[in-house]
Amino acid sequence: MPLVHPEIEEAVRRALAEDIGTGDITTNLCVPADAMATGRMVARESLTLAGVEVLPLVFVGCTVELKRLSGDYLKAGDEIARVQGPARALLTGERTALNFIQRLSGIATLAAAYVRAVEGTRCRILDTRKTTPGLRRLEKMAAAAGGAVIYRMGLFDAVLIKNNHITAAGGVRAALDRTRNAGVPVEIEVRTREELDEALACGATHLLLDNLTPDQAREWIAHIHGRAKVELSGGITLESARAYAETGADFLSSGAITHSARAVDINFRIE
């Protein structure tokens, strides 16, 4: 994904406007307009870094030197970036910069933990659309920095037939028949063995199995016997990911990577 994109630029612009409003009154009152400074951004815990690409967009008019890149593993004390410029600009942009980097690095760190949990299996970790509204591109970039596979950006670039689609369409066959010439990847969720067999009979090549136990998933995947790619989802935690990966699944997806990641501890110190 491109590191600079209009959606990212707009997200940063909105974040700055939200925080600054009519002006940073504390900084403007306390700090001389001509004062110059250097700011150092430093990790305060072990983490997988993400989002550093936004720093030049936050600190406009400053010199931003990136010491590490998105996807890098950092330990406590590792320097992330150094920013030089007007002290007012550094102070005004500090919180917005940290909000982005702490949040996105938290996602990357959790994604990397899921990837490590399934290491040695053939299973890969997928991200989901369970993202913060308006921040999807950034959060998916963060998941990718942690090693997750970006699945679909939205409703427009792949077909994912979920249980409600099947109900509204009139069944598995009806839904699949209407997507044969979609021109994009097609995946269908199946809830019962009957739906599974019907989907396979209709030529489905990518199946989503939701809310199964690892033992159930292993049984269903054995029945599929390589006739379709299999994604498992639903309640998959970091602790259970290994058991699900060892069922023979091709992919695991977990919304927790983006909707429940903890912001990591990063410091920005003015010198």
Q: Are 37 and 76 in contact (CB under 8 A)?
A: no
**Active-site residue, 95 included:** yes
Give the confidence band of 240 by pLDDT, cuts at 50, 70, 90: very high
Catalytically annotated residue among 40, 116, 129, 130 = 130
146 shares a domain with 79: no
pLDDT for residue 192: 95
The single residue of 189, 195, 231, 250 carrying the catalytic annotation is 189
| Catalytically annotated residue among 40, 162, 173, 229 | 162
The answer to whether position 1 is within a domain reads no
The helix or strand, by DSSP H or E, that contains position 206, with its residue range, turns out to be strand 206-210
Q: Residue 195: give its domain's CATH number.
A: 3.20.20.70
Is 67 labeled as catalytic in the residue annotation? no
| Known active-site residue 189 | yes
Task: Using a pLDDT cut of 70, give the percent of the chain over it.
Answer: 99
Nearest to 8 by CA among 134, 143, 153: 134
Q: Is 162 an annotated catalytic residue? A: yes
Provide mean pLDDT across the span 3-7. Answer: 82
Q: Which residues contact 61 (CB under 8 A, 6 or more apart)?
A: 85, 86, 89
Average pLDDT, the chain: 96
Residue 85 falls within a domain, yes or no? yes
Confidence of residue 84 (pLDDT cuts 50, 70, 90): very high
What are 141's two structure tokens?
């970039």
Catalytic residue, candidates 210, 219, 246, 265: 210
What pLDDT was estimated at residue 164? 96
Does the residue 64 lie in any domain? Answer: yes
The proportion of the chain whose per-residue pLDDT surpasses 90, expressed as a percent, equals: 97
34 is catalytic: no
* Residue 1 scores a pLDDT above 90: no
Judgement on whether residues 187 and 237 belong to the same structural domain of the protein: yes
pLDDT attached to residue 4: 73
pLDDT digits (tens, 9 = 90+) for 120-149: 999 999 999 999 999 999 999 999 999 999
Cα–Cα distance for residue pair 101/95, rounded to 1 Å: 10
- Catalytic member of 40, 67, 68, 95: 95
Total domains in the fold of the chain: 2
Domain hosting residue 185, numbered range: 120-259
> Does the pLDDT at position 259 exceed 70?
yes
Q: Judge if 129 and 227 occupy the same domain.
A: yes
Q: Is the model's pLDDT at 151 over the cut of 60? A: yes
Q: Identify whether 18 is part of a domain.
A: yes
Q: Tell me if 254 sits within 8 A of 128, measured CB to CB.
A: yes
pLDDT band for position 219 (50/70/90)? very high
